[in-house]
Structure 1
Amino acid sequence: MNTKRYLLSAVAVFVWLTIFGMIYHGKILESTYIETMQFWRPEAEMMKLMHFIYLGHILFALFFCYIYTKGMETGKSPIGQGLRYGLWIGLLLHLPMTVAHYAYVPYPAKLLVAWFIGGMIESTVAGLLVGKIYQKAG
């Protein structure tokens, strides 16, 4: 594994997750979160715990990029591999979670669908980023 490419891709994925999360959850889904306030901590309390969100993003980025390096196929487009990888990881993480959440937490269906769509966008773009970084280096 090329440590420089691995760390660069992990940083890129972390930055992507953080920016996308701020826009998607902080702006696009804001009204949905207001409608479902009963499920969430008070905003001031959430803000004090933001470091856990960043830690989660760091952990995701490190594992996501590490697994990508273990499955890369020589001779195939890194961008194509990144796209497929991101889609499959997105499905692996977000589809079962969406279905399970529907069963045990009374979240509105529109919120669950939005989370699934957002998760798929997150993972797919993350895969493309990693693929692009590995393409440039190759």
Structure 2
Amino acid sequence: MNTKKWVIASLVIFVVDQALSFLFHWVIMSGAYEATASLWRPMEEMNRMMWMMWVSGLVWAFLFVYIFAKGYEGKGIMEGVRFGLLVGVFFSLPMSLGTYASMPITGTIAIGWFIYGVIDITILGILAALLYKPAAAVGAKAA
């Protein structure tokens, strides 16, 4: 495993994921969240706990790239698309449907979370494919 590429790819993926998450949750879904405000913590509470979301997002990014690196096949961007789609559905389907089944969120929120999750994680898979190369692949290109 190329540790330097793993760390760099993980940090880039964390930053991109945070930016996409902000765009989705604070811009696209803000109206849906406002309409269901009684379900969520007050903003002051969420702001105090934001560090938990950042830490979990950072750990997630490192694990995401680690799993990608362990299955790396060197097939380029399509490997990232495939990985992102698989992880996106694997992660987003049970999260969105499970939350819909256990909390009174709207179908719009559940569907939005699923679609966003698949798109977001597919983009992150593409980034992983573009940014991560094992040490042997990096050395082979230099030769």
TM-score, normalised by the number of residues in structure 2: 0.89
Q: SS in structure 1 opposite 2:52?
A: helix
Residue 115 of structure 1 pairs with residue 113 of structure 2: yes
Cα deviation code 1:81-113 (max 9, x no counterpart): 111000000010111222222221111000000
Counterpart position of 1:59: 59
Please state how far the C-alpha of 1:27 moved relative to its aligned partner.
1.1
Moved over 4 A (4+): 135-138
Counterpart position of 2:122: 124
Ranges in structure 1 where 5+ consecutive residues have no aligned partner = none
Cα deviation code 1:17-58 (max 9, x no counterpart): 110111110111111110010110101111111111111210
Contact 1:72 1:78 in 2 (8 A): no
CA distance in 1, matches of 2:101, 2:119: 24
Q: Which has the higher Rg, Structure 1 or Structure 2?
A: 2
TM-score, normalised by the number of residues in structure 1: 0.93
Contact 2:10 2:65 in 1 (8 A): yes
Counterpart position of 2:36: 36
RMSD (Å), alpha carbons: 1.5
Ranges in structure 2 where 5+ consecutive residues have no aligned partner = none
